[in-house]
Structure formats: structure tokens, C-alpha cells
Structure 1
Amino acid sequence: MAEAASAQDAVLPGAAWPALDWAAPWWEDWRDTGHAAEARVLHGASVADALNEVRAAPVRFVPQGAPLAAGHYESGIRASGRVPTRDNLHDFFNGLVWHRYPQAKAQLNRVQAEAIAADGIGGRRGPVRDAATVFDENGAVFAGPEVLWQALAARDWQALFVNHRAAWAEARLELFGHALLGKLVSPRKGITAHVLRRPLAIENIASDPVVAANATDAWLAGHLTPARLAAKPFVPLPVLGVPGWWPANEAPAFYDDLRVFRPARKPPSP
């Protein structure tokens, strides 16, 4: 899905491709496929060709401008199974998400295409398409102990990251949004995901990331319905606060920055 222009939208020939630090902890789930696709780009392949070659996907990646079966981006993907792909980081990560979470990506595309078919393309997307876009671009999935979720929902950052820090050993955060992944190429403290919670199960903390990804993919495909999306069920999470993801967060004072770790809004006075 398209988003406002940014550095990750710029067309990048292989020679200008930025160095991606695949050793960073947030890339753990993406490292194998991402590194293999990147290697093809660096050897001269287009992003579309690299994504098609590295692994099978339920869609075909085609160069931007290739004819589709319908005019709108989402409708065209739904009708043709072809994803227009530019030579930039934004579309590179979009393709990686199609590889890792194919059922969830197909469901989001279905929601968008059906909303467009019903309501057309207007000046505003409406709540369902807005929420689908937010999650597609910036979403993540949390599975972990209740005490962590309650702290996250309350924006109680000290409880979430300091008081109950040890509980993160039983938690898993899976990044989904392709714009979110692109932002983490140049990590900064304020990068924030829109998080859904899925039930904690053994596959959430399985040592095999493929098992965890498949379970999350199936859950998302059933969970991302228009009714649920319209309710905007997301909770903000500054991802570099996750224990083990950023050296500076070992200091409790890291979480005192109110520009990033904002308290929950108080309801207006009656």
C-alpha cells in the first residue's frame, strides 16, 4: 500500500542500495529471505525479480507500470495476483511481508478491494480501509503474558519495560508493517508500531520462526475482518523499547522520554 513519500520510497539502483544490518535483533525473523533477496538486488536484479526468485509467493511481483486487471493498486492485485513493485526499500519490504505472511497480506488486500468495489475511490478511505492501511504499513503482533499486555494497553511504560522486564522472556513481538521495517533501516527511538494482541500459544515462542510465522499468519487472516478493523484495535508500541533490541534501553531512564513513551490520554472532564 502506498504511503507518504519518504527516503524508503526513493528508487535505488543496486549500486545505491543502503547497507542493511541483518544482525540487528528486529531482523531475526526476516534475515534469511531478506539477505538472499538483497544479494540478488546488489548483483543487478530488480526488486521484483529478486522477490520472485528468492522464494515462492502467492503473488507475482512485477515492475511498477506493468498492466494490471484493474486500475487501482489494491483492486489490481486482487484481480490479477500481480503486485507492482518499484526498486526501493518500501516495496522490497512489502514483498518480504508477502513471503512471510501471505494469508494475512491476501486478507488485507481482499478487505481493501471489496471496500473499493462497494464504495469506490473517494477523497477519504473510510475507517475500514484506513485501519487496514495502518496495519499493513505499520503493524506488529504481540503475544505474551497478561501482565505485559495490561501494561501496554495502559501505556504504563515503567511496568511494561522495567518492573516486568523479565516477563519479556515469555513474549514475542512479530513485525508486520513494511513501512515499519523500512524505518528500522535507520533506527531511532521514536519508531512506533501499531500492535495487535494474539493469544499466547506455544508456537509464539517456538525456536523455529517458521512455525511462529505460520501460526501468526493464519491467525491474522481470520482476525483482520472489516468489523474488527473498523474498531481500530491497535495499541502503540515504541519498538526500540523492547528488551534486547536497543542497548540504550538497558537504562530505566530510557523510558522517561515523554516525547516517545507518552502516557495514556485522560478522558475529558464531564
Structure 2
Amino acid sequence: MTLPAIDWAQPWLAPYRAGGEAGMQAIAHGEGSVAAALQHIRHASGQVWAPDFVGQDALPAGQAYEAHVFCTRTVPTRDNLHDFFNGLVWLAFPQAKRRLNELQAGEIARDGVGATRGPLRDALTLFDENGALLDAPPALWRALAARDWHTLFVGERRLWREARLVLFGHALLEKLVTPRKPITAHVLLPLHGETGPAALDDAQVAAALDPLRLGRKPFVPLPVLGVPGWCRDNEAAQFYDDPQVFRPLTGRGIPGA
């Protein structure tokens, strides 16, 4: 079993690089499966909050995935890049991932799987698959919430030296293996005005995942290749003159926090 080549030097992979490289090396040296490689990383890191990773065949037929993870504290894992990144995020943010799973499982227990997820499960899935966390000065937050892309990336560009963006969604990380300009993250808005390092702390992220808050969709879109230092082309201000990617604020405005 092999996985596609990954450029671990890309800035958006920095939080996952050590585990990712160790996992790829484990697979290359005969660990065999993605689940086994993730277990190798888990034991080597001494991570006590993370679940065990098991093969996909451990998921019984007809059993909802999220309910199974919640009941067994194990994560059925396929041999693909999507599930590899899912495991890396579990290892980096185990409390936040556990909270997402707890809320998903609670909704499934109450309403069943259903043809549609409902607003809370939609928000949980959006963050799990495509979410991001931002530690930034208030001026950048204001520009981002207003979709004022010129201020965010050109006028206040120097402030990005004080900022840090961490990608949380495993589908988002998978898409960025082949970077494209339109790829967009959904950034979780700060809780109670928090904009500093606590916004990236695993326990703090878990605490921010309140079902009532999530029902208001507290996310703002961010085209990730617009981040200074994340794409060479964005050194030219004209990079942002693309309304198909850097879209103005429309509709009802800023989502609820």
C-alpha cells in the first residue's frame, strides 16, 4: 500500500509534518496500512487523548461511522489520503475531534442518520472536513469578517507576521496536496472576542464547539492561498483581483459567533 507523494515543507502542513512524515515512513517500511501507521505515531508520541486507529473492516455493516467511533473509541480507517489526514488531525487535536464526534453521535442517536444531516450536523461536518483556526490581530479579523480582501492581504499584510492559521479540516488538507487558488477554508470565528494563541489550543477549540453556537454557522470563508507566504503568486497585489475567488460580502452579513 502506498500513498501519493506529499510536499511536507508546505506551510499549511507544518502542524502535521512530524507525524505525517513518520506515518509515511512507517508505511514505506512495512507497517502496511494507514491505521497501523497512525497507531505507530500515536504510541511514539505518547498521545493519551487520541483514540485507537483500526482497519475499515472493524466498522460493522449498517453501523453509522460516528456512532461507532463514539461507542468504541476507535476510528475505522481506510487506506487512503483522506483518512490519513483525518488521523493526523485526531492526533493533533484529539479533544476537539472527540467533541465533534460526541455531538455527531448525539444527533444520530436522537434523529437517526436520515437523508439529510440537519443544521447542527451540517456545521459539524463542515468544520471537521473544511475548518480552520486563526490566531490574528483584531485588524485582520475585522477585514476577514467583512471580506475586505484588499485590507486583509494587501493593506494590512505586515500584520500576518503576527498571525497563525492552522488548517483543521482533513478534506481541506487532502485537497491542498494539489494546491489550487480557489481552495477555501471555513475559519471558526473567535469565542468571546478571543483572537490570541488560546484560539489554537485543543481544549479551547473543543470548548468553543457549542451546539447552539454552531447552529448559527460561526464560520467565515478564507481562500487559503491568499495567506502571505503560502503562495508565491500572491506577492503581487493583482493576485487578489479575482472576484471568483475573493468574493465580496453578500447576503445577511457576518455569521453569528
- The normalised TM-score by structure 1 is 0.86
In structure 1, the partner of 2:10 is 24
In structure 2, the partner of 1:38 is 24
- What is the deviation of 1:170? 1.2
- What is the deviation of 1:68? 5.3
- What is the deviation of 1:259? 1.0
Name segments (4+ residues, structure 1) moved above 3 Å: 67-70
**Judging changes above 3 Å, is the alpha-carbon distance between structure 1 residues 22 and 267 closer, same or farther for their aligned structure 2 residues?**
closer
Q: 2:103 aligns with which of 86, 92, 111?
A: 111
- What is the deviation of 1:66? 1.1
Output the CA distance in 1 between the equivalents of 2:252 and 2:101.
35
In structure 1, the partner of 2:221 is 236
For 1:110, what is the secondary structure of its paired residue? Answer: helix
Give the % identical residues: 57
Output the CA distance in 1 between the equivalents of 2:224 and 2:170.
14
Cα contact 1:22–1:28 (8 A) shared by 2: yes
Alignment partner of 1:200 is 2:187: no
- What is the deviation of 1:225? 1.4
Output the CA distance in 2 between the equivalents of 1:97 and 1:39.
18
In structure 2, the partner of 1:128 is 120
Q: 1:246 aligns with which of 227, 231, 238?
A: 231
Cα offsets for 1:28-62 (capped at 9, x unmatched): 11111111011112233200000001124521111
**What runs of 5+ residues in structure 2 fail to find an aligned partner?**
none
Output the CA distance in 2 between the equivalents of 1:111 and 1:72.
14
* Alignment length (residue pairs): 244
Cα contact 1:189–1:260 (8 A) shared by 2: yes
Q: CA RMSD in A?
A: 1.8
Amino acid at match of 2:80: N
Alignment partner of 1:64 is 2:59: no
Alignment partner of 1:90 is 2:82: yes
Output the CA distance in 2 between the equivalents of 1:125 and 1:261.
29
Q: 2:40 aligns with which of 39, 50, 53?
A: 53
Output the CA distance in 2 between the equivalents of 1:155 and 1:200.
17
Q: 1:140 aligns with which of 132, 135, 138?
A: 132
**What runs of 5+ residues in structure 1 fail to find an aligned partner?**
1-12, 205-211
In structure 2, the partner of 1:161 is 153
Cα contact 2:34–2:84 (8 A) shared by 1: yes
Output the CA distance in 1 between the equivalents of 2:61 and 2:93.
24
- What is the deviation of 1:63? 0.8
Output the CA distance in 2 between the equivalents of 1:78 and 1:121.
14
